[in-house]
Amino acid sequence: MRVSKICKTGMFTAGMSCLLVAIASAQQTSQGSQPGLVKPGQSDSSSGTPGGQRNVNNNGNIQRNVERQPGGQASGDQSAENQGEQMNYAMAACLLDNNKAEVELSKIAVEHAKNQKVKEFAEQMVEDHGKMVDMLQKFVGAHEPTDRRSQIDHKINEACAASMRKELESKTGTEFDACYVGSQIAGHMHMLAALEVLSDDTSGELQGMVKDAKPKVEKHYAHAKELIEKSDNHQASRASSKDRS
């Protein structure tokens, strides 16, 4: 299988870009929400809100008091918890997009793959990623992010999946097989990198799903590489036989 460049990189770009954007956004939001010091002469935008009361410390800096909830719990802790939950939903929504795309593309491969091993691999992708879709849909539920940035990420994912679908549908026979399997190598390689990041930047139930998914993704990645290598060896053997004849 000679893998065309566009097929080998197609799912790479369709992969986890929105996850990395969401992580960066959440980290910036979290950092921006930390109670900090306001230098003399600077305005404190929170001064008009409960918990925005300011005191001058011994160094001459103006410091905001943190509003305490009943029982002494700081409101900042609750805010950080809410931000963590929103980040989890953003991560899950993006993973959901990509797993849906994986199922859709693999269904095309089940129907059109020429090589039986490739067809069986695609069937496994439909099954495994279909299960992940079910879990992620249940997790996200009614909490699908609706902010503008998440909507743009969703549109990008859909556009990438549509582009890859169009590329696959334009090919037949061994060229189709090469395109599909090549995209799987690139896509799963990128997914593994994303899961490494998400295993530290998510929490709770989603973190558990991410960690459970990693061994399966590693297996898919290895399987796809094996398919390419076996096909390349087979083609090389046939070419050698033709040369000798």
Task: Tell me the pLDDT band of 74, cut-offs 50, 70 and 90.
Answer: low
Q: For the chain, how many structural domains are there in total?
A: 1
108 located within any domain: yes
Q: For residues 174 and 115, is the Cβ–Cβ distance under 8 A? A: yes
57 located within any domain: no
Q: How does pLDDT run across 83-128, given as a tens digit for each residue? A: 888 899 999 999 999 999 999 999 999 999 999 999 999 999 999 9
pLDDT at 137: 96
Burial of 63 (0-12, 13-18, 19+ CB in 10 A): middle
127 located within any domain: yes
Burial of 67 (0-12, 13-18, 19+ CB in 10 A): middle
60 located within any domain: no
Q: For the chain, give the mean pLDDT.
A: 77
pLDDT at 49: 47
14 located within any domain: yes
Range of the domain at 84: 5-25+77-244
170 located within any domain: yes
What value does the mean pLDDT take over residues 200-226? 96
Distance of CA 75 to the CA centre of its chain: 31
* Residues 186, 162: Cα–Cα separation, whole Å: 17
* Residues 104, 98: Cα–Cα separation, whole Å: 10
Say whether pLDDT at 191 is over 70: yes
Task: Tell me the pLDDT band of 82, cut-offs 50, 70 and 90.
Answer: confident
* Residues 58, 56: Cα–Cα separation, whole Å: 7
Give Rg (Cα) of the chain.
24
CATH of the domain at 209: 1.20.1260
Instruction: State the pTM of this model.
Output: 0.69
Q: Strand 54-56 and strand 62-64: pairing?
A: antiparallel
For the stretch 87-126, what's the b/e string if a residue is b when 16 or more beta carbons lie within 10 angstroms of its beta carbon? bbbbbbbbbbbbbbbbbebbebbbebbebeebbebbebbb
39 located within any domain: no
86 located within any domain: yes
